[in-house]
């Protein structure tokens, strides 16, 4: 299924651990530890051909409501004077909340339209009746594992909001959350298309270099903020980067004989913190969407913040060329592509991995097989992808190359990436300054310490002592109703390292 509504395009079913992804508000949590290849359904064609049968709700159109809820028939004030229509609370067979346009959720949010859906739930355009404001509401299925997954995302979003209440660091703002009859609901600010959806709708025409520069700078800035606060996003990809406003202007390209879109504003926000992981938390063996997955993750060598940097390198390449760097569904082929594009995987990593992809320190790969020919024909050394030999193009590829260092300890840290010559040409009005810079100088060493986590096995993350911090929830958005349940103290727990 494909949908577009107010900029909420999708890549349904795109390798998500939950099976289906809504590009804008997806939960990308690793809810199970399936085999790595299980999350590679539909890889990088970026197409919407997934089995999105979450909701043929042939029965989900509330046909029963007119029969069952005599109030709705008798209450002509529903349509005549605009009084809220109390929804009949029921779920469909998959656990999705059944609703219709005009329903009022939590005595506050009026349903305007469905923006999309996935395995985890649905995303709905709603109007906050108290604040007279339109927003996007993610309504999670009434299923325990998805409910618990949503709580993890809320926890990460609350921590981000506590560290950056004004949103200076370009992470999406969570405006509210509540439990509606077993459905975790998360309200977000409305944003535009994802950078992937815009690319797809523009027939995969690459972004202009100045757009790549500005978006890349903002992405490094936002993710550096996460890293400074000991948080790894783990699912960076073009779907999870949204334009604040995706309005565009079209010009006719005589060479291509078609219109080409150019986005007017390149301001972005980072979304989808469902799989974000704090340093002290358990680290799943496999993280990240296939094409943006770092080699240390594939080789099961442990990971930390540098895996995000690898993902950013892949994203910059994709924005620049309009194609995915690693177009594959298979681990061994993925590693072969890396070697074709970036050179031989270091012997230390080959020797240390317990996976079956190496034989006597060399990748076990037959160049003469059909798969080998595919890699040889479709991949080439990184610098051969340059569209121009101009300095600024070479500077971009130098930055990408530094982000795609095999060894996590040698991969460029984002504080250094922001100082890379590629960003020197960024206009002054697009540069960002950290309002808390004086307070965060001590955190700048964090990236160096992150690399030390690379060699830790997953169990080490459970052995650290933590203190629990209680963060008061904003009383302006908390509603103490029977249908809205939070912790008894109306406070949220998190853990931080001592």
- Label residues 131-159 b or e (16+ Cβ within 10 Å = b): eeeebbbbbbbbbeebbebbebbbbbbbb
How many C-beta atoms surround the C-beta of residue 28 within 10 A? Answer: 29
CATH topology classification for 91-189: Phosphorylase Kinase; domain 1 (3.30.200)
Can you give the C-alpha Rg of the chain in angstroms? Answer: 23
**Would you state the structure tokens that stand for residue 274, as one six-digit string?**
């469902």
Q: Do residues 308 and 297 lie in contact, with contact meaning Cβ atoms separated by under 8 Å? A: no
- Pick the catalytic residue from 43, 48, 176, 235: 235
Question: Residue 436: what pLDDT?
Answer: 57
Q: Are 362 and 329 in contact (CB under 8 A)?
A: no
- Bridge partners (DSSP) of residue 232 are 277
Provide the pLDDT for residue 258: 87
Task: Return the pLDDT at 486.
Answer: 33
Distances (CA, A) of 170 to 12, 71, 221, 230, 267: 25, 45, 8, 17, 9
Is 138 marked within a binding site? yes
pLDDT, residue 456, reads 47
What was the pLDDT predicted at 433? 84
Instruction: Report which secondary-structure segment, H or E, holds 307.
Output: helix 306-321
Cβ neighbours of residue 178 under 8 Å, at least 6 residues apart? 106, 184, 185, 479, 483, 484, 485, 486
SS3 state at 458: helix
**In the chain, ranges of CATH 1.10.510.10 domains:** 193-429
Residues 6+ apart with CB under 8 A from 3: 9, 10, 115, 116
What letter does residue 94 receive in the DSSP assignment? Answer: T
* Overall fold of domain 193-429: Transferase(Phosphotransferase); domain 1 (1.10.510)
Pair of tokens at residue 461 = 């993350």
| Residues 194, 434: Cα–Cα separation, whole Å | 25
Q: Which residues contact 401 (CB under 8 A, 6 or more apart)?
A: 313, 342, 382
Residue 277 has φ and ψ, to the nearest 5°, of -130, 125
Max intra-chain CA distance, the chain:
78
Q: Is there a catalytic annotation at residue 235?
A: yes
The confidence score (pLDDT) of residue 413 equals: 99
Contact between residue 302 and residue 283 where contact means Cβ atoms under 8 Å apart: yes
For residues 23 and 30, what is the distance between their CA atoms, to the nearest angstrom? 17
Residues of the chain with pLDDT under 70: 1-88, 435-498
Find the helix packing angle between 391-403 and 306-321, rounded to 10°: 150
Cβ burial, residue 45 (10 Å; 0-12/13-18/19+): exposed
Indicate where the chain has its CATH 3.30.200.20 domain(s): 91-189
pLDDT at 253: 84
CA distances from 213 to 61, 62, 216, 378, 392 (A): 45, 48, 5, 26, 10
């Amino acid at each position: 299924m494909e949908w577009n509504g107010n900029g909420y395009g999708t890549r349904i079913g795109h390798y998500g651990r939950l099976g289906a992804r809504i590009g804008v508000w997806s939960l990308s949590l690793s809810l199970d530890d399936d085999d790595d290849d299980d999350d590679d359904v539909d890889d990088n064609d970026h197409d919407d051909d997934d089995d999105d049968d979450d909701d043929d709700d042939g029965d989900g159109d509330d046909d029963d409501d007119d029969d069952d809820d005599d109030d709705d028939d008798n209450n002509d004030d529903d349509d005549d004077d605009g009084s809220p229509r109390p929804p009949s609370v029921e779920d469909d067979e998959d656990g999705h909340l059944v609703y219709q346009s005009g329903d009022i959720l939590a005595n506050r949010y009026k349903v305007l339209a469905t923006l999309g859906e996935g395995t985890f739930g649905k995303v709905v355009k709603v109007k906050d009746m108290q604040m007279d404001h339109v927003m996007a509401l993610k309504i999670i299925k009434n299923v325990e594992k998805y409910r618990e997954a949503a709580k993890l995302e809320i926890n990460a979003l609350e921590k981000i909001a506590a560290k950056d209440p004004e949103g200076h660091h370009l992470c999406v703002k969570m405006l509210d959350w509540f439990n509606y009859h077993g459905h975790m609901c998360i309200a977000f600010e409305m944003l535009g298309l994802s950078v992937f959806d815009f690319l797809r709708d523009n027939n995969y025409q690459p972004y202009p270099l100045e757009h790549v520069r500005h978006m890349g700078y903002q992405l490094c800035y936002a993710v550096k903020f996460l890293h400074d606060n000991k948080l790894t996003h783990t699912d960076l990809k073009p779907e999870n980067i949204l334009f604040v406003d995706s309005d565009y202007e079209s010009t006719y390209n005589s060479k291509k004989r078609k219109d080409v879109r150019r986005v007017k504003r390149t301001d972005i926000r980072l979304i989808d913190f469902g799989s974000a992981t704090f340093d002290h938390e358990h680290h799943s063996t496999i993280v990240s969407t296939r094409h943006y997955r770092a080699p240390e993750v594939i080789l099961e060598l442990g990971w930390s913040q540098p895996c995000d940097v690898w993902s950013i390198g892949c994203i910059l390449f994709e924005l620049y060329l309009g194609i995915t760097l690693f177009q594959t569904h298979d681990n061994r082929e993925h590693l072969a592509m890396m070697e074709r594009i970036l050179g031989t995987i270091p012997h230390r990593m080959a020797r240390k991995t317990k996976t079956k992809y190496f034989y006597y320190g060399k990748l076990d790969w037959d160049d003469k097989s059909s798969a080998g020919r595919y890699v040889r024909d479709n991949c080439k050394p990184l610098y051969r992808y340059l569209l121009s030999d101009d300095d600024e193009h070479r500077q971009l590829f130098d930055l990408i190359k530094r982000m795609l260092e095999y060894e996590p300890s040698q991969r460029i840290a984002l504080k250094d990436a922001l100082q890379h010559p590629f960003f020197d040409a960024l206009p002054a009005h697009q540069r960002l300054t950290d309002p808390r810079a004086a307070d965060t100088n001590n955190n700048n060493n964090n990236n160096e310490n992150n690399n030390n986590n690379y060699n830790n096995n997953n169990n080490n993350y459970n052995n650290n002592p933590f203190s629990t911090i209680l963060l008061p929830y904003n009383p302006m958005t908390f509603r103490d109703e029977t249908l809205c349940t939070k912790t008894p103290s109306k406070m949220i727990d998190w853990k931080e390292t001592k």
